[in-house]
Amino acid sequence: MIPRRSLITAPAAALFAAPERIEITSVKAAPFQLRRAAAFGTNRFTSDFDPNRWRWFGPFSQLTGAILVQIRTKQGITGYGMGGGGGAAVYAIDNHIQDLLVGANALNVEMLWEQIFASTSFYGRKGVAVQALSGIDLALWDIAGKHAKKPVWQLLGGAVKEKAMAYYTGGNLELALKLGFKAFKMSMPLGPADGDGVKQKIVDMLTRARNTIGPDNLLMIDCLCRWNVPFTLEMADRLQGVKLHFIEEPVLPDDLSGYEKLCAEVKGTRIASGEHEYTHYGFDILLRHKAAHFLQPDLTWSGGLTAIRRVATNAASYSVPVFPHRGGSAFAMQLVISHPNCPMAESFMTGEGGDDLMRLCAAPFENGYYRAPEGAGMGVEFSEAVLRKHAPQLV
């Protein structure tokens, strides 16, 4: 009788080999501001009723609250990921989340995401805890790519497009035109709180913008949640001649019924939302309620690559495109270039006068399009000099 063990061929035996293990030895995080807090409001108020009190976002939101996560391994591979939540997220990582990582296998990226999300859910689910998880998840994917000696987008199945059309966010439309952009998004600083005559001011402002960029390019606005449902519906009707591609975040993120009504009734344009939504669970609610025509998750605070990859796939089944917020970053482009449901990427630093740190974290840009970085992992190398300048806690 032939011994049973000899029936297993050498290639088949390899299937039963122990999985590779890249052991995590340390997890650190540090705040690093990509924008000053003053860029997102002021803490100087004239009274209890000062409108600035509704617009002071503080040090934990947007690019003001960016963090850099550093994960080191026993095998000498170091991963970096950008997250959000500022010092509050760093505290959560230092005092809780790192317990779930040190000693674990860094290559079990999705399992670690699930464990961290479950363990922070009693105080997290959205906001700071998920912003911290986002940075960790991106750092783990960075390690996976560096271990495989491949860009992360190749680990996700490879490119589905050679390059991604970019849309410019900012106020210098003339410069953006020179850079080759064919899609433009403007911040909308005016709303119902600005009194009589504001509606015509908005029409005039956007008519000038349309005349500047020409009739065939895309024009969008970001309302930063300043509007309400009736105001949005009326303005969409008034602005039909301007041909807005979308109105972004006209009302607060939790006004689900408001977004449902807008998506059902708006004329002449569409509604974009999701920059301030969290994980595939939150985006699934928006999709099931038909509360957005376009989704705009940010990989650095909405749940990382693991979560937003699920969002993009789920949204495709609803025929809802995904335009990642700040999709021109090296981190977000790993998803954009590898997923068929991400047709456009928002600008990251390009044409906005960013500093050396933003330039380092941006994907390659040329004539209105972004490409994914070619380097292993996320394709971003944080030198000791960069860390000493922007995140000295990680040196």
Structural domains of the chain, ranges and CATH numbers in brackets:
18-149 (3.30.390.10), 155-375 (3.20.20.120)
Whole-number Å distance between alpha carbons of 106 and 20? 10
* Phi, psi torsion values for 228, nearest 5 degrees: -125, 175
With tokens 């650095």, the residue in question is 300
- Position 16 scores a pLDDT of 54
DSSP structural state of residue 60: G
CB neighbour list of residue 362: distance below 8 Å, 6 or more residues apart: 328, 329, 330, 348, 349, 350, 354
Spatial CB neighbours of 252, under 8 Å, sequence gap ≥ 6 = 225, 258
State residue 64's pLDDT score.
87
Q: Look-up: residue for tokens 């049973």?
A: 4
Task: Report d(CA 96, CA 343) in Å as an integer.
Answer: 37
Q: What angle do CA 369, 371, 373 make, to 5 degrees?
A: 150
Is residue 245 annotated as part of the catalytic site, yes or no? no
Tens of pLDDT, residues 205-245: 999 999 999 999 999 999 999 999 999 999 999 999 999 99
Write down the pLDDT at residue 5. Answer: 44
What's the confidence (pLDDT) of residue 189? 93
Per residue in 30-67, pLDDT (tens digit) is 998 887 766 778 899 999 999 889 888 888 887 889 99
Measured CA to CA, the distance from residue 292 to residue 270 in angstroms comes to 8
3-state secondary structure of 82: strand
Burial (CB count <10 Å: 0-12, 13-18, 19+), residue 247: buried
Q: What is the pLDDT of residue 8?
A: 45
What's the pLDDT at 18?
A: 61
Nearest to 183 by CA among 212, 222, 213: 213
Q: Which residue in 147, 280, 293, 325 is the catalytic one? A: 325
CB 348 within 8 A of CB 331: no
Instruction: Return d(Cα 165, Cα 149) in angstroms, integer.
Output: 27
Identify the pLDDT of residue 239: 98
pTM of the model: 0.94
Residues of the chain with pLDDT under 70: 1-18, 37-38
pLDDT at 59: 86
| Angstrom distance (rounded) from CA 134 to CA 140 | 10
Provide the pLDDT for residue 358.
86
Residue 11's pLDDT is: 53
* Residue 282 to residue 204: CA distance in whole angstroms: 36
Two structure tokens written together for 184 = 């433009």
* SS3 at position 367: coil
8 A C-beta contact, residue 24 and residue 103: yes
Contact between residue 10 and residue 93 where contact means Cβ atoms under 8 Å apart:
no
